[in-house]
Amino acid sequence: MKHRILHSVNLRDRLADYAPKLGVSLPELTTAFDWMCAHNVAFEEVGRGGVTNSYIAYVNIEPRIEHPLARRFYALLRDEIPVGFVPLYGINWPTLVDRWRRAWEQVYNMLINKIPSHNVRLAWLRMGGAKIGKGSTVWRNTEVIGVDGLQIGEDSCVGWHCQLDARAGLRIGNHVTIASHSIVIAGGHDLNAPEFWAFGAPIAIEDYAWITTRVILLPGAHIGEGAVVAANTVVSKPVEAYTIVGGQGAKVLGQRVRGLNYKVGGKGLFTLLH
């Protein structure tokens, strides 16, 4: 497999839903999808629980896809993933935009994230393509990679010295707390590929979830509404809503009270210099 990003699971089973969108028959689309899998445009990999993880090329190779229907299907699948794809580098506009975004986030990580002003830091992230809701904040010295793939809802707080890797998509809901020194990694590399191909899978953290200190979320992690991840836990799988997990393998430790209605308040006067 080459550079790839997770689109969904069991995509082949849902080709019948895509055929009408493309104005073709199911056998035609199935043939096109088989061609995509044979030519490094789409990839299938058996994951946990017997599901098939369905990936597509992370580099935007649409202009190079020779099969007409495969080209259209790839473009449709690509546009369903809310992140910026790596362009085919060259002297072109997509390359310029990509280089500008990467430079913009490097300036943020080296300089802007140390400025003791919520407004300045959030404005810089938003201008780089991040979507950040009202009342939310990212505290000082937290690094962001893939700024244009970052989505944060309202009244959520990311603490000090965190790392947010949003290159494959990172969606944080409302009233979420991510404690200091936590790491969210939406991408990695294929250990079975001699070429060290990159892969990515989006991460989602739902409303009222609490990610405690020094937690590591790996590609594909999905933290349910109101769930709690205990300190020093590594998570690479879905966590059910209102479930408390921790320790090796992110084992279930208990259940959290429901009916949560608090506000995080990460931009209050007390946190002025954060």
pLDDT in tens, 160-192: 999 999 999 999 999 999 999 999 999 888 888
Say whether both 64 and 31 belong to one domain.
yes
How far apart are the C-alpha atoms of 245 and 227, rounded to whole Å?
8
- Give yes or no for residue 124 having a pLDDT over 90: yes
Say whether both 149 and 102 belong to one domain.
yes
How far apart are the C-alpha atoms of 240 and 110, rounded to whole Å?
36
* Residue 89 placed within a domain: no
* Residue 92 placed within a domain: no
**What helix, strand, coil percent values describe the chain, rounded to 5?**
30, 25, 45
Active-site annotation holds for 189: yes
Segments in the chain forming alpha helices (H): 15-22, 26-38, 68-79, 93-110, 118-127
Q: How confident is the model at residue 55 (pLDDT cuts 50, 70, 90)?
A: very high
* Residue 59 placed within a domain: yes
Say whether both 266 and 137 belong to one domain.
yes
Quick one: pLDDT at residue 246? 97
Strand order in the sheet with 187-189: 42-46, 52-57, 4-9, 198-200, 187-189
Say whether both 53 and 139 belong to one domain.
no
Q: What is the mean pLDDT of residues 122-141?
A: 96
Say whether both 68 and 125 belong to one domain.
no
* Residue 104 placed within a domain: yes
Going by C-beta distance under 8 Å and a sequence separation of 6 or more, which residues neighbour residue 265?
Answer: 135, 155, 157
Question: How many structural domains does the chain have?
Answer: 2
Give residue for tokens 């369905």: 54
* Residue 86 placed within a domain: no
Q: Are 135 and 167 in contact (CB under 8 A)?
A: no
Quick one: pLDDT at residue 266? 76
Judged on CB neighbours under 10 Å (0-12, 13-18, 19+), 213 is middle
Say whether both 114 and 225 belong to one domain.
yes
- Give yes or no for residue 272 having a pLDDT over 70: no
Say whether both 54 and 127 belong to one domain.
no
Say whether both 205 and 125 belong to one domain.
yes
Q: What is the mean pLDDT of residues 73-85?
A: 93
pLDDT digit string (tens) for 141-167?
999 999 999 999 999 999 999 999 999
Which range (54-58, 82-86, 138-142, 204-208) has the least confidence? 82-86
CATH classification at residue 213: 2.160.10.10
Q: How confident is the model at residue 1 (pLDDT cuts 50, 70, 90)?
A: low
Using a pLDDT cut of 70, give the percent of the chain over it: 97
Say whether both 163 and 38 belong to one domain.
no
Q: Quote the domain boundaries for residue 74.
A: 4-79
- Give yes or no for residue 53 having a pLDDT over 70: yes
Say whether both 193 and 60 belong to one domain.
no
Query: Which of 194, 94, 211 has its CA nearest to residue 148?
Result: 94
Say whether both 231 and 142 belong to one domain.
yes
Using a pLDDT cut of 90, give the percent of the chain over it: 85
Going by C-beta distance under 8 Å and a sequence separation of 6 or more, which residues neighbour residue 198?
Answer: 3, 4, 58, 187, 188, 189, 190
- Active-site residue, selected from the candidate residues 67, 181, 189, 222: 189
CATH classification at residue 30: 1.10.10
Residue 143 β-bridge partners: 163
* Residue 90 placed within a domain: no
Domain boundary among 49, 79, 109: 79
Say whether both 50 and 178 belong to one domain.
no
Going by C-beta distance under 8 Å and a sequence separation of 6 or more, which residues neighbour residue 22?
Answer: 29, 69, 72, 73, 76
* Residue 91 placed within a domain: no
Domain boundary among 79, 110, 140: 79
